[in-house]
Structure 1
Amino acid sequence: MTLDGLRPLADRMMSPLVSGAKRAGLTPNGISILALLAALAAAGSFYAASEMRLFYLAGAVFVLVNGVLDLVDGNLARELGTDSRAGDLLDHVLDRYADIIIISGLAAGLGEYALGLAAVTGVLMTSYLGTQAQAVDLDRVYGGILGRADRLALTGVVSAVTALVDISIGGLTPVAWLLVVFAVVGHITALQRFYYAMQALGE
């Protein structure tokens, strides 16, 4: 179960934004940088939520903006005919920094740095196994339980709920449980992608 499977539908929904970005003279790389800035704003909001819980709501909005811009940049590059390996590399690098920044903000807001480290490693291994398949001449792997689209959606929903409802489950806040999910399910997803790649290679 992964929202990455809905990418074709999401791409069509982004068409008006892509057209708007094109008319505004924005470049795909510029939009990728804006997406990173949105991730920084999300992390800052999550950290500030330690003092005022409503900042989680702002963080949720910035995470949504990051996700939307991440779709727009690639579609704009294809629309302009400027898509390239260099642009793809930049996009992947900035996406990974965005993942690290957002999770670090969540962990810092809770003061749960060990849990944040576990979550970051799960997320990075998931992404690494997705792109490493390309390095051995396979298609990029988007499958598994928890892809990037799923993580962004979960982060947005959980942080918005946390902003509006003060609850704790088993002594952990919903945001802390979110990090647990990223840590555990992230590594499971990475192993799923590894298994798929090995099967495709006939090993």
Structure 2
Amino acid sequence: MTLDQYRSVSDRLLTPVVRVAIRLGLTPNAISVVAIATAGAAGAAYWLADPGSMLYLLGAFLVLANGLLDVLDGMVARQTETDSPGGDLIDHVLDRYADILLLVGLAGGTGEFAIGIAAVTGVLMTSYLGTQAQAVGLDRVYGGLVGRADRLAIIGITTGIAAFTTVSYRGLSLVGLLLVFFAVVSHVTALQRFYYALRALE
């Protein structure tokens, strides 16, 4: 996982946006709802896209928006001192639905539903292991090969490229290969988090 290491950089860059959001009276929960809407729109764009379609580029921009909004809601909550366990729960639940919408959209657009199922279950297990560690008394685990910030960046970059190419390998389009990547790496990440938590409990 790499991008979470630069959270302080993104926080500094988004500080002016946070100020504007607060002046407009936007609440963290409202921002979270807009974020899930962008994920749903991206998933729909991916489902309807063909190789080389500009819908992939649209989806890439929507994924970028989802990632920025996901950071923004937490920053607004902290700045306005409205962060709470309930808000954290809402944020995590909507993030998981966003993950599902994006991956199901990618699977639907490629027709690779079996690989999509493997990718979705891996991503959900990655997130589950991160929070389950906290449930058994450890700190929340964010480690492993690919975290959510990395995942969104990879989806955005790959689908942005997919808008301009129809390259394929062994019958799989670039987006199909992206699903294979997540199907493998997300399960590896989940197992890494499981191993870390288990060792920490010994």
TM class by shorter chain equals over 0.9
Q: Between the two proteins, what is the percent identity of the paired residues? A: 59
Match of residue 162 from structure 2: 162
| Letter matched to residue 56 of structure 2 | Y
* TM-score normalised by structure 1 residue count: 0.96
CA contact (8 A) 2:51 2:165 kept: no
| Letter matched to residue 110 of structure 2 | L
Cα offset for 1:51?
8.1
CA contact (8 A) 1:4 1:143 kept: no
What is the alpha-carbon distance in structure 2 between the residues aligned to residue 51 and residue 129 of structure 1?
A: 34
Aligned residue runs from structure 1 range 7-46, under 5 A: 7-46=7-46
Cα offset for 1:12?
1.9
Cα offset for 1:2?
2.5
CA contact (8 A) 1:2 1:143 kept: no
Aligned residue runs from structure 1 range 9-158, under 5 A: 9-50=9-50, 53-158=53-158
* TM-score normalised by structure 2 residue count: 0.97
CA contact (8 A) 1:119 1:180 kept: yes
Match of residue 179 from structure 1: 179
CA contact (8 A) 2:63 2:155 kept: yes
Cα offset for 1:40?
0.6
What is the alpha-carbon distance in structure 1 between the residues aligned to residue 184 and residue 156 of structure 2?
A: 19
SS at match of 2:138: coil
| Letter matched to residue 143 of structure 1 | G
Aligned length: 202
SS at match of 1:164: coil
Match of residue 199 from structure 2: 199
CA contact (8 A) 2:133 2:140 kept: yes
What is the alpha-carbon distance in structure 2 between the residues aligned to residue 39 and residue 85 of structure 1?
A: 23
| Letter matched to residue 101 of structure 1 | L
Unaligned regions of 5+ residues in structure 2, if any?
none
SS at match of 2:75: helix
